[in-house]
Chain A
Amino acid sequence: MPSETNDRFREDIEEARKLGAKIGRKVTLMEVCGTHTVAICKSGLREILPPEIRLVSGPGCPVCVSTQGYIDACIELASRPEVTVATYGDMLRVPGTRGSLAEARAEGGGVLIVYSALDAVRYAAEHPDRKVVFVAVGFETSAPATALAVKMANEERIENFSALFSHKRIIPAMMALLAAPDLSIDAFICPGHVSVIIGPESYAPVAASGRPCVVSGFEAADVARAVRMILAQIAAGESRVENEYVRAVKPGGNTEAQKLFAQVFQISDENWRGIGVIPESGFTPAKKYARFDARAAHGIEVHEVPEPRGCRCGEVVRGAIDPEECRLFASACNPVHPVGPCMVSREGSCSAHYKYRRQAAKASEG
């Protein structure tokens, strides 16, 4: 399809190839956003770029980075007769140790799919006889809606609302990955909508470690431009924060959202599937709002639970292996019978690889 955008896309790919040749060694660019994972797989960008430019997916899918113990706690809550678990649809089919939220619902458990934390708090207000627990997953993009929901519940005294917190902060995770001896990440394609909230300046500590950081939008043309910008930095021996997604990401981010975080949340340690506990990598309610924490409100505990047998989602989440390297991939684990979360979530690496890369392989065989 001839168009201005396509010309820009081709030019960026061409320039990336030239820069790759100039750099003259293998470089690994990691994205940490499920929407980027899908955009890269769908556009075939990985295959279009020369093999020396390696694109890997890190811990960017909120569903995938949630631990098995967290999923189990959600399912346990759904089995309690007085509880309605309100969740984003993405979490529904993730297998816990026994069953999933979808199965809990089929067995009569209270599970409600919501589009926003705000819908969950409104549902709680309208159903005072139910104890509504919101499944609070996601990065800084989704966290403001949860913060606002908690604030509303406090102001309007909606005491039958709480949230099971597993919100994640991306920068501590990026720093943790840089410290891992088995990963060699040369640069980061930074998440666009997280950056709308936290602002591009937040990546300064990552860039200071010698890894260029470029905030990217979500279309293939955006990611191709971000790759080109990163390679230009590496070729010039630079490491800075740049913003490709200027149409949405403004300097300083959304200060109202940041104020809301400071008011409603406290920064806490968080457990990540495949990575473990990363200090200061999560949000939980501040003292004033502690009664909206489902752990306290419902006496629910999140236990350490081993991952399903043979499942390598933990390594996929860290970008340590490609989905194809897992023995279960596309055999025992597939979209109809997923074993791990990376195959369930539309934004999971395994799901995206299954859907788009296999398609591409078939097309090239045929």
Chain B
Amino acid sequence: MCLAVPGRIESIEEKVAVVDIEGNRIKAMVSLVPEAAVGDWVLVHAGLAVTLMTEEEAQETLGLMREKYAVGDE
């Protein structure tokens, strides 16, 4: 339930941002990250941006989310 995904803010109007998450556009409130601006990366949980991230931090998370893991000979 505590899943959260990074995305980039495309626009902000009255505390509601349109966030591009891997090509999907969703609405998220930015009340908890008042300094957020268009172009910033944020982590979104349940329609709420919960923290700002750098592009590098966001890309690292997105990269790890796509990763498959192998320790043995799989």
Interface residues of A (CB under 8 A from B): 1, 3, 5-6, 9-10, 13, 33-35, 43, 48, 61-63, 88, 90, 115-119, 137-139, 141-142, 144-145, 148, 191-194, 196-197, 217-222, 246-250, 254, 256-257, 260, 345, 347
Contact = CB atoms under 8 A, between A and B. Distances in A.
Contact of B45 (A1, A61, A141): A141
Nearest to B47: A116
Contact of B2 (A116, A194, A260): A194
B39 interface: no
A217 B57 CA distance: 12
Contact of A257 (B4, B32, B43, B63): B32
B22 to A, nearest CB: 15
Residue of B33, B53, B71 with highest tally of chain A CB at under 10 A: B71
A341 B46 CA distance: 21
A193 B50 contact: yes
Contacts of B45: 141-142, 145, 193
Given A222-B64, A248-B57, A10 B29 contact: no
Interface in B36-74: 43, 45-48, 50-51, 53, 57-58, 60-61, 63-65, 67-71
Contacts of A257: 32, 50
Given A10-B71, A118-B29, A148-B29, A90 B57 contact: no
Contacts of B47: 115-119, 145
Given A254-B51, A257-B32, A116 B46 contact: yes
Nearest to A139: B2
B61 to A, nearest CB: 6
A61 B70 CA distance: 27
Nearest to B4: A193
Contact of B3 (A35, A116, A248): A35
Nearest to B57: A247
Contact of B46 (A10, A145, A192, A250): A145
A142 B3 CA distance: 10
Contacts of A9: 69, 71
Contacts of A63: 1
Given A116-B48, A118-B29, A139-B2, A248 B43 contact: yes
Contact of B48 (A3, A148, A347): A148
B58 to A, nearest CB: 8
B71 to A, nearest CB: 5
B33 A256 contact: yes
A9 B65 CA distance: 14
Residue of A13, A137, A192, A218 with highest tally of chain B CB at under 10 A: A218
A5 B32 contact: no
Residue of A61, A62, A219 with highest tally of chain B CB at under 10 A: A219
B2 A35 contact: yes
Contacts of A191: 2
Contact of A197 (B50, B58, B69, B70): B50
B61 A217 contact: yes
B11 interface: no
Given A117-B46, A196-B43, A197-B50, A33 B2 contact: yes
A246 B71 CA distance: 25
B39 to A, nearest CB: 18
Contacts of A197: 50
Contact of A347 (B1, B31, B61, B67): B1
26 contacts: A1-B67, A1-B69, A5-B69, A9-B69, A13-B71, A34-B2, A35-B1, A116-B48, A118-B46, A138-B2, A142-B45, A142-B46, A191-B2, A193-B3, A196-B50, A196-B51, A219-B61, A219-B64, A220-B67, A220-B69, A221-B64, A221-B69, A248-B43, A248-B61, A257-B32, A345-B1
Contacts of B53: 247-248
Contact of A141 (B4, B33, B63, B67): B4
B45 to A, nearest CB: 6
Contacts of A138: 1-2
Given A219-B65, A222-B64, A249-B51, 4 more contacts: A34-B1, A197-B50, A221-B67, A247-B57
